[in-house]
Chain A
Amino acid sequence: MLDAAILGAVLASIVAAATTLLLAALGELVAERAGTLNLSVEGMMIIGAAVGYAAAYGTGSLIVGTLAAVLAGTLLSLVFAGLAIWLAANQVAAGLATTILGLGLAGLIGAPFVGTTLEAAPALNIPYLSDLPLIGRVVFGQDAFAYASFVLLALVAYTLSRTRIGLVLRAVGESHVAAHALGHPVRKIRTLAVMFGGACAGLAGAQLSLAYTPFWASDMTAGRGWIALALVVFSAWKPLWLLAGAYLFGAVSILQLHVQGFGLGIPSQVLSALPYLATIAALVAISALKRGQGAPASLGVPFVPDR
């Protein structure tokens, strides 16, 4: 049933589906490793999708659109940072409020663009390599967003585990009191981490509205921000596990569509639930395997220096 051409196309769709999640989750992972639970990923994504589309439509440049999306995601993350980090508000409430704000603003910004479309971000084919059988299109025929997700992943993984910046960031996330006592500016570091998260979520939004389905519609993120949040927990806050999680989720969500097309007779509702079931199963497996290695100790706890 599956010949090489179909397999290549399926794998390419999996990469595209996983890229959205990987980008958004990677930013959240950094924010959470610094000790901030930012529930506004969905809001930052949708604002990125709206602003990115508006900017790309207005200027005709996908690069300008992408940069605008990154900026929009970052700006919205600053709203969250102001509430949760500087005013020490409840992080869950601040994150939800910011998401609501993001959804509303995105609808407003996007309203004039309903029913318009633009040219999708092109696949950046690499000469010769893209023509390789099977892996050519999958590995070397993706759009810039997929490559960006790999580069960002490598950067984050390296920075967190191998650099002083990463060490300080993790220290802030594990024990903000100790980090503060050592003279590290806890709130500044957390703000920067949240801003990075906002930038990544904005980029994920741009991937949706500029490359995946190049148009604007309210609610077009359709809950992917929440899945990204779950993937961070799934990954046990480790970048490489995050990669695995995003690709597992992407693969199962694409494959279930193909399984239906082949008419194997499995109820579609079960198939639609599969990505979530797979995530839960993996979560259980991981927590069984790696007991005691969980969330950063200060995650979700506001830091007030004078107290």
Chain B
Amino acid sequence: MLSTVLALAAGVTLAGLGGVPAHAADKVKAAWVYIGPVGDFGWTYQHDQGRKAVEKEFGDKVETTYVESVPEGPDAERVIEQLARAGNNIIFTTSFGYMEPTLKVAKRHPKVFFEHATGFKQAKNVATYNSKFHEGRYILGQIAAKMSKTGTIGYIASFPIPEVISGINSVMLGAQSVNPDMKIKIVWVNSWFDPAKEADAAKALIDQGADIITQHTDSPAAMQAAEQRGMKAFGQASDMIQFGPHAQLTSIVDNWAPYYIERVKEVMDGTWKSTDTWSGMGDGEVVMAPYTNMPDDVKAMAEATEAQIKSGALNPFKGPIYNQASELVVKEGEVLPDKDILSMNWYVKGIDDAVPGK
């Protein structure tokens, strides 16, 4: 709540400083809107690493700013509006809930380019981009099935949105490809970032028999909890090995740098177009941290799967896939279309739980 005030204050300051019209500047001004603090060591941290990569790549030819901890909703619209008025040429808004605010502001500023992460609505000057994190999660599922002694994976989930649901399914499909009897316990914390709650969730899952923890929340707290209890875990967004030197098996690392550099370059060259990009491991946008704390054969399996996903030979959502009611959703040999993954609201067979709100 108070970070809102800060964010708005920052937005106002930016607007006050930069009254220069976009075309008058000989350098590209790029701005980022973040949902969390840049120091979350998770989602926002990685976007900011991408922003820094843009600065490093273009040096004096680019000027970047960011506003952190911007709540979704009306506050976001005000912040984005301020950034547009401050003469930014391109504005990246990096949370699902910024979708409508971004579109609204974009309508008022047709000469400014907008990029919305994880959204599904484009406009002439609004592009969307996202990463196929579920590709990495399939590998996590396979490793978990090989490494688990109890046969139960603990999953700390944030909000029941398609990205999170498809992640759970992907982990489960990966696990079932190794051991069809794997179980998964899901705990929703209803927050992207609450370290103490994430740690409590990890402990609760471990107490209930999960010996491998995976998370779709943003802090390294769950990794630390697993390390303390002598369990294994997967990192999220960043390589979290320092938080779990004995616990971390691998980590899904978000690498936004290539995309950000490419898009800012397009603004410079005047070739920017509204696109809908969904990159994955093959494009280097989803990167696996080194495979550690596992036997060589498990590591070899993970690397082989990674190579197959990168080459396109393996798709986590390739049929046959059954839903919880044992109905065939994806036929043998077919692949679930992207739009169905992006709107997923059902669990695959074998998950002994219900999708929240269904």
Contact = CB atoms under 8 A, between A and B. Distances in A.
A245 B6 CA distance: 31
Given A17-B196, A213-B196, A253-B200, A116 B242 contact: yes
A83 to B, nearest CB: 16
Contact of A117 (B154, B160, B187, B224): B224
Contacts of A219: 3, 36-37, 40, 69, 193
A269 interface: yes
A214 B194 contact: no
A269 B69 CA distance: 22
A267 B190 CA distance: 11
Contact of B208 (A120, A253, A262): A262
A6 B196 contact: no
Interface in B189-248: 189-191, 193-201, 203-205, 207-208, 219-221, 224, 228, 238, 242-243
A181 interface: no
A51 interface: no
A251 B196 CA distance: 14
A162 to B, nearest CB: 34
A263 B188 CA distance: 11
A20 B196 contact: yes
Nearest to B218: A217
Contacts of B193: 217, 219, 222
Contact of A257 (B69, B204, B243): B204
Interface in B342-358: 352-354, 356-357
Given A219-B69, A222-B193, A260 B2 contact: no
A104 B37 contact: no
Contact of A100 (B6, B197, B221): B6
Given A219-B36, A222-B195, A262-B208, A268 B200 contact: no
Given A269-B190, A272-B188, A212 B196 contact: yes
Interface residues of B, number: 48
Interface residues of A, number: 45
Interface string A205-243: 000100011111111101010000000000000000000
Nearest to B245: A117
A120 B228 contact: yes
B357 A267 contact: yes
A106 to B, nearest CB: 10
Given A268-B188, A269-B190, 14 more contacts: A103-B3, A114-B39, A208-B196, A213-B195, A213-B196, A213-B221, A217-B40, A218-B37, A218-B38, A218-B40, A253-B200, A263-B353, A268-B160, A272-B190
Interface of A: 6, 9-10, 13, 17, 20, 42, 96, 99-100, 103-104, 107, 110-111, 114-117, 120, 208, 212-220, 222, 224, 253-254, 257-258, 260-263, 265, 267-269, 272
Interface of B: 2-3, 5-6, 36-41, 45, 69, 154, 160, 185-191, 193-201, 203-205, 207-208, 219-221, 224, 228, 238, 242-243, 352-354, 356-357
